[in-house]
Structure 1
Amino acid sequence: MVCFCDIPLKFISRNHTERYGSYGIGFKKDWGTTNKVSPILYRLEQSGFSNSFRNSSFELNNIIERLEGLKMLYGENDSEILNIQSMLGALHSHSENMAGFIKSYEELYQGEIRNNYIDREWRWVPERTKKEFHEKDDESYREELNRKYHENPDHLFFDVNDLNYLVVKEKKDIDVMIGKIRNLGLSEEEKFALVQKIIDIDSINSDM
């Protein structure tokens, strides 16, 4: 999973940079939509949507478990049961993929309630990667999942033309970024294009 924020430069506030840092990459939106990046859905914990989604997942798991019992009754190779099991497996996979595009409206982070809605988050969720979910937003569990995914990762690909901005914190960081760009294995034309995309947070805040 890769996460993005759909926030115009003029709306990048101190709240956002304090949460995610003052360095970033700004992609063109059409690159995101072409690569199946999608806006996510924010849910309130006890909302009708949350309850329905939670209950439907619970019922689906119950049906899958009961089907295992029917296999014992009618035989492991019953064709009708195998067909139903295959369809339920596909439905379960689709449900997991949908869950990857859902996030809590707010969450407890470092002892404080944090509003996630202001992030205007978009996500890319690889379809082939096995999904694992945890009932609580636990940082250590998240780190363990990231480790697993990095062992067999999916990839998003982009080139220089897919970028709008390279965002740095201060004007003094621009020269540092230019130095790093010069050491990249790119053509001189691509390096020049990247340099033109550098912008610093201080200038954004002072101009907007």
Structure 2
Amino acid sequence: MKLSSNTLFHFTREKDFLVSILRNGIFIRYSLETYGKILKSKSELVLPMSCFCDIPLSQISEHRKKYGSYSIGLSKEWGLKNGLSPVLYTHAKSETAKVLNTLSANLENIFDIENSEENQKLLKEYGYKDEEIDLVNSGQYLASKQVREKNEELSKQLGHFLKYVKPYSGTGYSNGNEFRQVKFYDEREWRYVPPKELLQKIEIKDIYKREFYTDEVKRRYINMRLAKHKKLTFKPKDIKFIVVEKEDEIPPMIEKLREIFGQNSSYNDLMILNSRIISLEQIIEDL
């Protein structure tokens, strides 16, 4: 039995949402992520992302209970081309968590910043004049400024990296619902996270507090702001599966595919796309 799929699945709860994805692409949404005790200073964060999994269809029964019975499956080649990455699973007592906590707490100490008073005393002992010492110290100031700028850049990169970290198990959230005692490791998650530069350009944050997720109005506002500027698009050839809940939803979905892709696809391409529709009923019964 295969442990992973060559397809990345994005699940949703409603048929209309799936049709919207086929028509418009996959929008990035802010999600409430719990870090538990992995990061001592960051137990919960609201982060922008789009989530996928590479669970084989024969093993999606539990996954769809949390995330929905409708799904689009896209090739891993498409995922790699669009910057998707598997998340890093860890736990509070792991070496990974220790390193992350050390980096996040002591980033400013990664580089040794020279003590200007000690250097000034040393320079005098070697016979440097005051004006020469001032010139040296000005160089040290510039070096210290460069170090601070480098630390700021490293801090930004570390913050982006943390968006790809997930606890081995814990409390999860989906569409406002809370799920306790979830073993995230079984979800085999891949995700896309937009770069901070894009978010700064459209004047929204890369991290929000819990209230921006639990408050539906605030959550919808930041999601709509982001949706205007970024989404993940695909072509019919990138689609490997379209999963609907029931068998009788397949004929209407074929009509939707003809409506969405018919003008820009050949007859053969459309027939291949139609053949990639499968129902959850069939998966559960036969796979």
Check whether TM > 0.5: yes
Distance in structure 1 (CA, Å) of the matches to 2:217 and 2:105: 26
The aligned counterpart of 1:192 is: 271
Is the 2:244–2:277 contact (alpha carbons within 8 Å) kept by the matching residues of 1? yes
Give the count of matched residue pairs.
197
- Whether 1:45 and 2:121 are equivalent positions in the alignment is no
Structure of larger gyration radius:
2
Is the 1:160–1:193 contact (alpha carbons within 8 Å) kept by the matching residues of 2? no
The aligned counterpart of 2:207 is: 132
Is the 2:89–2:185 contact (alpha carbons within 8 Å) kept by the matching residues of 1? yes
Match of 1:89 among 138, 148, 152: 152
Name segments (4+ residues, structure 1) moved above 3 Å.
136-139, 141-147, 190-193
The aligned counterpart of 1:183 is: 259
Distance in structure 2 (CA, Å) of the matches to 1:142 and 1:42: 29
Match of 1:115 among 180, 183, 196: 183
The aligned counterpart of 1:206 is: 285
Distance in structure 2 (CA, Å) of the matches to 1:159 and 1:125: 21
Q: Which amino acid aligns with 1:7?
A: I
Is the 1:106–1:115 contact (alpha carbons within 8 Å) kept by the matching residues of 2? yes
Q: Which amino acid aligns with 1:165?
A: F
Q: CA deviation at 1:161?
A: 0.6
For structure 1, list consecutive stretches of 5 or more residues without a partner in the other structure: none
% of aligned pairs identical? 28
The aligned counterpart of 2:53 is: 5
- Whether 1:56 and 2:131 are equivalent positions in the alignment is no
Is the 2:212–2:219 contact (alpha carbons within 8 Å) kept by the matching residues of 1? no
Q: Secondary structure at the match of 2:181?
A: strand
Superposition CA RMSD, Å: 3.2
CA offsets 1:55-96 (integer angstroms, 9 cap, x no match): 310112x559xx9xx9xxx89xx4223211221121111101
The 10-residue stretch of structure 1 (124-133 or 195-204) with the greater mean CA deviation from structure 2: 124-133
Q: Which amino acid aligns with 1:192?
A: M
For structure 2, list consecutive stretches of 5 or more residues without a partner in the other structure: 1-48, 117-136, 173-177, 200-205
